[in-house]
Structures are given as C-alpha cells and as structure tokens.
C-alpha cells in the first residue's frame, strides 16, 4: 500500500466513521480514540485479508462506527442499580452510616438512580430513611 493511498483511506474514512458512531458531543475525546483505533484495526485487517482499498475502507468505517455506537450505548446507560447499591454502602461506611442522595449524585450517579437506589435499600430493610438522609445500622 502506498503512503498516499493509506493517508487517503484514513483521511476519508475517519470522519465518516466518527459521524456514523453518533457521538454525544462534537468532539468527544474518548469516542475519538476508540473510533480511530477500531478504524485503523479494521482497515489493516481487511487490507491484509483482501488487498483491496475499497474493502479495507468499508471495513474500517464499519468497525469504527460499530465500536463508537457500542461505547455511546455504554455511556448513556449509566451505572447499574447493583453498582449504585455497592457505592451507597461504601459511602455510608465512609460517612459514618448516613448517606443522602446528593452524596451519590456527587459521586457521578444519575439523580433518579440515586433516589431509587436508596429507596430500594430502605425497602429491603438495609437502611432507614431519616428525612433526606438514609441511616445504615452497623
């Protein structure tokens, strides 16, 4: 593969692959790194497997877009309830047995997930609601 053809494939395929990955922001650094890595990997494997520039370009664009969309779904999905419960228990341990939804929100949990997590823990009898705070017994 000539260097000119390689740069042409990369320069034309990366913007297409990034746009197809549907990023949340115009320039998302983690999304860019993932898409570039997947694109170059797909381009390389397809080039060595087929020897065709068009096939390599299409494979790179497809793999970059698929990895980018997969990452976007993971980011949008947020933290799961089990992980949020573990985080609430750890925060309660560190804060002397009391946690507020604001503590979970400050740790990066979605506000609705934070409230639902603490209410689920209270419903299972692991903590008691005391106003806005949830108290865990030691």
Q: Are residues 45 and 85 in the same domain?
A: no
CATH number at residue 85: 1.10.10
Domain around 35 = 3-77
Answer yes or no: do 45 and 103 share one domain: no
Q: Is the same domain home to 121 and 72?
A: no
Q: Are residues 67 and 99 in the same domain?
A: no
CA distance 120 to 70: 29
pLDDT tens digits, 52-79: 888 988 999 999 999 988 988 887 777 7
- For residues 44 and 8, state if they share a domain: yes
The residue out of 56, 77, 98 marking a domain boundary is 77
Residue 73: name the closest of 31, 43, 113, 101 by CA: 31
Identify whether residues 73 and 85 lie together within a single domain.
no
18: which residues sit within 8 A by CB, 6+ positions away? 31, 32, 35, 64, 68
To the question of pTM greater than 0.85 for the whole model, the response is: no
């Amino acid at each position: 593969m000539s260097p000119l053809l390689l740069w042409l494939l990369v320069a034309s395929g990366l913007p297409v692959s990034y746009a197809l990955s549907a990023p949340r922001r115009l320039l998302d650094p983690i999304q860019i790194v993932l898409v570039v890595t997947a694109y170059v990997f797909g381009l390389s494997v397809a080039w060595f497997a087929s020897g065709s520039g068009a096939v390599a370009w299409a494979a790179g664009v497809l793999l970059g877009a698929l990895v980018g969309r997969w990452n976007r779904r993971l980011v949008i999905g947020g933290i799961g309830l089990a992980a949020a419960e573990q985080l609430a228990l750890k925060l309660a341990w560190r804060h002397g047995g009391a946690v507020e939804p604001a503590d979970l929100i400050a740790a990066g949990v979605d506000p609705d997930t934070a409230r639902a997590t603490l209410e689920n823990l209270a419903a299972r009898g692991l903590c008691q609601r005391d106003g806005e705070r949830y108290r865990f017994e030691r």
